[in-house]
Structure 1
């Protein structure tokens, strides 16, 4: 895995430490803690995002709904020159991610106990090159979350399952209200048993539209399309 993705020297040992810390965590924010499964379903899946050129070049990354720290922790280890913010509203999950990062000696991350809308309203506004989101919600909701966080030209990388034409068309219909448009959808095969995995890459094609971010919760309650 390290060779395939061109990871830094020492990455194998640090990834092993990360999985060991996750397995030992007494209150993990994920049901997949067994290293034999987690190496595929967390690490390999997360690192599949490195196929996106904009992600490899990113200086600042915000991982939304970071949960147990994936893909954010894996990407931070793979991209030591990048600064990765693990955005997770639940404080307890943020504390777990901090312990995992310490165990794996990942020093280019910080856990932020905020919702995406709260971050975008203050220090995070138009501050990021890339926003990542893994199994977090509908694409149009993710586009709304990402837009005010991204600089113009920045990208959202969303890890999703099977393609949904209705979900993808909603992104196009909301373009004027999010300034986000789909650039490509990549088939992803991060490990042999993976099925129907896709990486959706959306670019911010203009300034942040007025009215974004909306109040926390509105993106899900009343989607823009």
Structure 2
């Protein structure tokens, strides 16, 4: 195929009937190798393509400031490691998770730059360690795991715990599996399922976590059937209206949970106060739960 600078017949896209002598000598398309049809440059492939796409997407969508050097991220991970008494392997695993999140081409979260995600995702997730039941859990299920937080961060912090990431979106499950494998988190299992349909998980979990997933009433209904007696639901919340807290307590009572006072945390300097809402399973959940998928949101038990 001839380039746009060659003499095309009148009526062609670049010619349009203009005499050759009056056309610009510069080609219409930038110089460089051409592949297939047109004048496009070769596109990067593999990790380079994922990195380029990830950075372009972040620049378009993120409301946060430009990236800070990687040294800041490493230093911040070390600070978090000291604050929460993490195992020696955790900072490196968390750094790998941040890299995987940045390189991921699909939209699993809007915050992907490591300099921002180290606080918005990692520090926020690790604040769950302020709840004693999380620290001592042998089996944790993270509902609506999405981009992997808090579940993946807790898996790095608690290598002796079995962490199940429950996610209903297939492409997010694929990312979670890749990220866990890259970080060497052998205590992670990914379940492609809705919480209501995870039958193998009924009555098996010490802790169920949820972050930015649903109202407290809905979360109580999701979590209760999965918890063993004495287990705990831990929900990450920034602000909860009194009506939502009241509805959560009412729904919790129906499914065998009992609310505890919220645990106030400040994951990072700019976060302000956050609350971890904790519900303990004090009696068996009625056999009619879990209800059919979608019913907890469509017809909540309270509120």
* TM-score category, normalised to shorter length: over 0.9
TM-superposed CA distance for 1:68, in Å, is 0.6
Query: Are 2:232 and 1:160 equivalent residues in the alignment?
Result: no
The answer for the alignment partner of 1:23 in structure 2 is 102
SS in 2 for 1:174: helix
Structure 2 Cα separation of the partners of residues 116 and 153 of structure 1: 19
Structure 1 Cα separation of the partners of residues 157 and 165 of structure 2: 15
Determine if contact 1:171/1:180 at 8 Å carries over to the other structure.
Answer: no
The answer for the alignment partner of 1:110 in structure 2 is 189
Structure 2 Cα separation of the partners of residues 28 and 61 of structure 1: 25
Query: Are 2:90 and 1:11 equivalent residues in the alignment?
Result: yes
* Structure 1 stretches lacking a partner, 5+ long: none
Query: Are 2:128 and 1:128 equivalent residues in the alignment?
Result: no
TM-superposed CA distance for 1:197, in Å, is 1.5
Determine if contact 1:23/1:34 at 8 Å carries over to the other structure.
Answer: yes
- TM-score, normalized by length of structure 2? 0.72
Query: Are 2:244 and 1:170 equivalent residues in the alignment?
Result: no
TM-superposed CA distance for 1:195, in Å, is 2.4
TM-superposed CA distance for 1:180, in Å, is 1.3
Q: Deviations over 1:170-194 (max 9, x none)?
A: 1222244211121120112000000
Determine if contact 1:171/1:181 at 8 Å carries over to the other structure.
Answer: no
The answer for the alignment partner of 2:132 in structure 1 is 53
Q: Deviations over 1:123-176 (max 9, x none)?
A: 111010000000111001000000000001100000011131111111222244
Instruction: Give me the CA root mean square deviation.
Output: 1.0
Query: Are 2:293 and 1:216 equivalent residues in the alignment?
Result: yes
TM-superposed CA distance for 1:36, in Å, is 0.6
43-52 vs 204-213, which moves further? 204-213
* Aligned counterpart for 1:189 among listed residues 251, 266, 274: 266
Determine if contact 1:61/1:129 at 8 Å carries over to the other structure.
Answer: yes
* Aligned counterpart for 1:73 among listed residues 152, 156, 164: 152
Structure 2 Cα separation of the partners of residues 209 and 56 of structure 1: 28
Give the number of the structure whose residues are more often strand, by fraction.
Answer: 1
The answer for the alignment partner of 1:82 in structure 2 is 161
Structure 2 Cα separation of the partners of residues 104 and 175 of structure 1: 36
Higher relative contact order (CA 8 A, sep 6+): 1
Query: Are 2:282 and 1:205 equivalent residues in the alignment?
Result: yes
